[in-house]
Structures are given as structure tokens and as C-alpha cells.
Amino acid sequence: MNTKDKFIEEMKKRTKKFAVDIILFCDTLRPSKGSSVISYQLIKSASSTGANYRAACRGRSQTEFFSKMCIVVEESDESVYWLEVIADAELSNNPDELNRLLIEAVEISKIMTKSKDTTYRNMNQKN
């Protein structure tokens, strides 16, 4: 397995773990109407990050990969947003886990943005 394939597999595992960790974290939030709505949105965006990354990796063309990566970037950034809302609204009973997940969400978002931007640059160099 080459370096690129190893990276892809690592990111698939990492984004799936992120989704699972988010699901488990949401179960620990202070019960409230806000927590319920935010949990739903956060679980959707976190799980969509990994699902769309996997779909991007199966893309039939560079254009299809780029299109899916745009969604991955959007969903990973949305996850950062919801985690920040949880922090600002003080809905978490576990600030250490919240901080860990926020750091992970930001890192994933940065990695996916870099990949999307590199793909875009490569697509435009061919034209």
C-alpha cells in the first residue's frame, strides 16, 4: 500500500471514529430542547463528513471527487460550528471531551480543505 492509500484509509477511520465519538458525546449533553436540536444537527454533520469522504474516495473522476470534497469541507466546518455552540451555551457536562472533539473537528476540516484546494488547483492546471 502506497503513502496516498495509507492516508486515505487513515482518514476513513478517523472520520468514522469522529462520527462515533460525536454520537457518544451527544448522549452526555445536559438535557434541554436546545441540546436535542443541536445534537441532531451535530450528529448529522459529523456522520456526513465521513460518509461523504468515503464517497469522494470512490469518485469516478477528479471532478466528482472535488464535488464530494466540497460537501465534506462544508459538513466538517458545520461540526466545528455546532461544537462551538455547545461550548458557548455551556451544554456539555464534559468540557475535556468537548475540547478534544473541537480540536479534532478543526483538524479534520483543515485537512479536508487542503485536499479540496489541492484538487481544485490540479484540475485547473490541466486546462
CATH of the domain at 76: 1.20.1440.60
Question: Is the pTM higher than 0.85?
Answer: yes
Which residue carries 436540536 as its cell? 37
pLDDT in tens, 50-90: 999 999 999 899 999 999 999 999 999 999 999 999 999 99
**What pLDDT band is residue 1 in, cutting at 50, 70 and 90?**
confident
Domain count, the chain: 1
Spatial CB neighbours of 61, under 8 Å, sequence gap ≥ 6: none
pLDDT in tens, 8-38: 999 999 999 999 999 999 999 999 999 999 9
Q: Which of 30, 59, 48 is nearest to 105 (CA)?
A: 48
Full residue range of the structural domain in which residue 21 is found:
3-126
